[in-house]
């Protein structure tokens, strides 16, 4: 692979990763809820899902999926339903009680290293990783994008596997940096968003965004890849 081709793809990866989407919303949501470090499980899951989509597109299965109306519709419905489920779950999540918040804030004042407030119904790390994985893996828009974007960067005269490893590794590395940035920024904001009403609105806003993104997936058409 020539350097100018890789650099072009590298620049495209930053644009792709920074563009707001379901992964960014989920990273910020978990950054607020669990903190930056605990969001690493979510971000790892997002990368596993991204890698799966990349492999599907690179292997040519993505083209078959786009060509099959039934298969594409199934993936689209699953992805949309899962994002909307996450959104509704987030909106219905109960914030910590005012008493628990007051006790945690007192502990935080006495000991800055004290653990962050956790909401009732918080997800375990395995669940956070699964949420990240399914968010990307069931996103038909991601498959469409990969099928449309990958071909110009693939040289048919060079080993395909090596090119896919380089391009896939580049994409995931950039996405890890960006998603960590989203999660870390949201985690910093949580210092000013620890109140009961603030937590309640966090749940409603980020949950609502996930629902809207999920609903938006229903409008994705196979013709988008052409």
User: CB 192: neighbour CB atoms within 10 A?
Assistant: 8
Give the Cα separation of 87 and 83 in Å (integer).
6
User: CB 157: neighbour CB atoms within 10 A?
Assistant: 4
Place of tokens 């596993």: 48
Mean pLDDT by 10 residues, the chain (226 residues): 82 80 86 86 94 84 70 78 81 64 51 44 80 87 74 76 88 94 85 68 79 79 55
How much is the pTM?
Answer: 0.69
Supply the DSSP string of 62-112, one letter for each residue.
HHHHHH-HHHHHHHHHHHHHHHHHHHHHHHHPPPPPHHHHHHHHHHHHH-T
């Amino acid at each position: 692979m020539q350097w100018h081709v890789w650099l072009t793809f590298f620049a495209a990866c930053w644009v792709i990763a920074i563009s707001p989407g379901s992964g960014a919303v989920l990273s910020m949501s978990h950054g607020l809820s669990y903190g930056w470090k605990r969001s690493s499980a979510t971000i790892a899951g997002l990368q596993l899902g991204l890698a799966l989509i990349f492999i599907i597109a690179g292997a040519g299965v993505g083209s078959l999926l786009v060509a099959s109306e039934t298969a594409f519709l199934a993936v689209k419905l699953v992805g949309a339903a899962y994002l909307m489920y996450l959104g509704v779950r987030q909106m219905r999540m109960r914030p910590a009680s005012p008493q628990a918040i007051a006790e945690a804030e007192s502990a935080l004042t006495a000991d800055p290293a004290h653990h962050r407030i956790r909401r009732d119904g918080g997800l375990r790390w395995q669940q956070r990783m699964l949420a990240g994985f399914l968010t990307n893996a069931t996103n038909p828009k991601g498959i469409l994008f990969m099928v449309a974007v990958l071909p110009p960067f693939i040289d048919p005269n060079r080993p395909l596997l090596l090119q896919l490893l380089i391009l896939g590794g580049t994409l995931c590395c950039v996405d890890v940096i960006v998603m960590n940035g989203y999660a870390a920024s949201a985690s910093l904001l949580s210092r000013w968003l620890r109140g009961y009403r603030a937590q309640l609105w966090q749940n409603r806003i980020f949950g609502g965004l996930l629902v809207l993104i999920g609903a938006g997936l229903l409008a994705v058409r196979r013709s988008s890849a052409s």
